[in-house]
Structures are given as structure tokens and as C-alpha cells.
Homo-oligomer: A and B are copies of this chain.
Amino acid sequence: MQSSAATLRRMRSLPDQRLIEGALEQLALFRELGAQRTAAAAKQCCVMSGRRGEVLARRGSRLPGIFVVAYGIVKLALRGQDGDERVLRLVSSGQGFGEATALLGERSRYEASALADCKLVMVPSSVLWKLLETEPRFARRMMLVLGGRALEMMDEVEAATLQRGSQRLARYLQSLGASSPTPGAVRLPVSKTLVAARLGVKKETLSRLLHQLAAEGVIRVERRDVKILDAARLRSAAGEAEAPPAKEALAATS
């Protein structure tokens, strides 16, 4: 799978206009922008397609804008010098990535690669800046997206530094259950190896952790399907939540 020949140069702006508009309309960022302006912006975007396994953007590269997944799945991952990787996020259709680096003009922190054949829409930074200037609602959305990313990453830091693998796994299963049509029966969205990379452990460790939870009767695992047999104990394995809000009060003058 030596896909090094594939870079982001394979772009075309063709009658993909439809595809681009569709992708942008799905994106939270563009939600409040009218169909008019969305279509106008779409004219300045371009499409890139990637094959399964292909590297779409390398770490350290400067990306010309943000990317929206029209279809397929893209993996955003950090990689260490010995080749092992830590998955940051799996981006599926209707979601985007690269906002922070595009706006700050910084180099990409992660590597983006296609987990399945996909098409991406690239919205050039210049288009973004134009919209941000002229459309306060778009700017508002952008701030929500950026703030959300910051909080997500903060959660990742917390998970990585002061939770152990079993805890991260438990929370991950909980979150899958929460966003599942049938809580209690979840399906891993990707291979266990990738789930492990997402959780910041090796695949061997994930295997053992799953086995352990299964042995305790908390879950039952069959290939990619996980049945949650004891939600209460899964919750306690996740570390349990904290107390309700507490309006901290402090000496406030003026």
C-alpha cells in the first residue's frame, strides 16, 4: 500500500458542482448560509478523490483550505517516529477538517488518509476569509466549530493523561451506545486495530481489555458487534461522573 505517489494535486473543478454543493450543505459550518451564497462559494471549491489507503495530506504540509468529506471516511492521525499512530478523529461524510490550520496558516499537525474510497471538497482559505468578513453568521459558526475542536482536544488530553486504557475503552463504548439507534448493541465503526489507535493503546492491549470486560460479564463481543450486558458496571468502569454544577462564587466587585 505504497500510495506515496498520491498527493492532493489530483483536483478537478468540473460539473461536480452538485457534489460540492451537497457536501457544503451538509456541513455544520454552512448551515446558516443561504443556498445562494453556498452555491457561490461552491464555485470556488474543488474536488479531490482518494482511494482506500491513500494518504490525502501529510503531517507538516500546508493545506490550501478546509476539507469536507462528500463521501467515504477519512482518518486523521498523529504518527510517532517509530511508525505507530494515534487516531485523532474519523471524519465521515458531511464533516470537515483542517479549519484551525487553514485559518492560522499553520502546517498540518496530523496526517489525513482515506479509510475508504472517498471524495473531498476543498474550500480555499481565501473563500473562507471572504465569508467570515461578509457573513457574521458564518463567522459565528466557525467560532463554534473551532471552539468545539479545542474542547474535544482537551477531552483527549484528559483521557490520554489521567485515564487508563480500560477507562477509555469503557467511555468509548458508552459513547457508541449513546449515538446508536439501539443502545446496548453497538457496532465498532472501524477495525479493532483502528479503535485501538483511537484509544491510544496497541491492538494487543485492546484485545485483552475487551476480553476482560467480556469475562466480567459486562459486554459480549462478536466480531465488530458489542453487546452491552451490564450498563451500570460499564458506567463504573468508565470512572463515573461528578457532582452537578456548582456556581463558584468569588469576591466580585463592579
Q: Mark A158-192, 1 if CB is under 8 A from B, else 0.
A: 10111100000000000000000000000000000
Query: How many residues on the A side are at the interface (Cβ–Cβ under 8 A)?
Result: 74
Known: A132-B143, A136-B139. A242 touches B153 (CB 8 A): no
Taking A60-B243, A81-B241, A104-B147 as contacts, is the C-beta distance between A251 and B49 under 8 angstroms? yes
Set of chain B residues within 8 Å of A157, measured between Cβ atoms: 78, 86, 88, 153, 156-157, 160
Q: How far is the CB of A17 from chain B (nearest CB, A)?
A: 8
Q: CA A150 – CA B106 in complex, angstroms?
A: 12
Chain B hits for A133, CB < 8 A: 136
Asked if A223 is at the interface of the complex by the 8 Å CB criterion, the answer is: no
Docked complex: A42-73 residues within 8 A CB-CB of B = 45-50, 54-62
Number of this chain's copies in the assembly equals: 2
Interface of A, helix, strand, loop or mixed by DSSP: mixed
| Contact A81–B239 (Cβ < 8 Å) | yes
Is A6 part of the binding interface, using a Cβ–Cβ cutoff of 8 Å? no
Query: Looking across the interface, which residue of chain B has its beta carbon closest to that of A86?
Result: B161
Known: A99-B147, A142-B143, A251-B48. A80 touches B136 (CB 8 A): no
Is there an interface contact between B246 and A61, defined as CB atoms closer than 8 Å?
Answer: yes
Please, which residue of chain B has its CB at the minimum distance from the CB of A156? Answer: B157
A247 to B56 Cα, complex, angstroms: 11
Q: Given the complex, which residues of B lie within 8 Å of A11, measured CB to CB?
A: none
Nearest Cβ in chain B — how far from A129, in angstroms?
Answer: 9
Q: What residues of B have a CB within 8 angstroms of the CB of A78 in the complex?
A: 154, 157-158, 161-162
Cα(A107)–Cα(B242), bound, Å? 12
A157 to B197, CA, bound (A): 13
Q: A50 contacts which of B47, B144, B250 (Cβ < 8 Å)?
A: B250
List of B residues within 8 angstroms of A104 by Cβ: 144, 147-148, 151
Residues of A within 8 A of B (CB): 16-17, 20, 45-50, 54-62, 78-81, 84, 86, 88, 99-101, 103-104, 106-107, 109-110, 122, 132-133, 136, 139-140, 142-144, 146-151, 153-158, 160-163, 200, 239-243, 245-248, 250-254
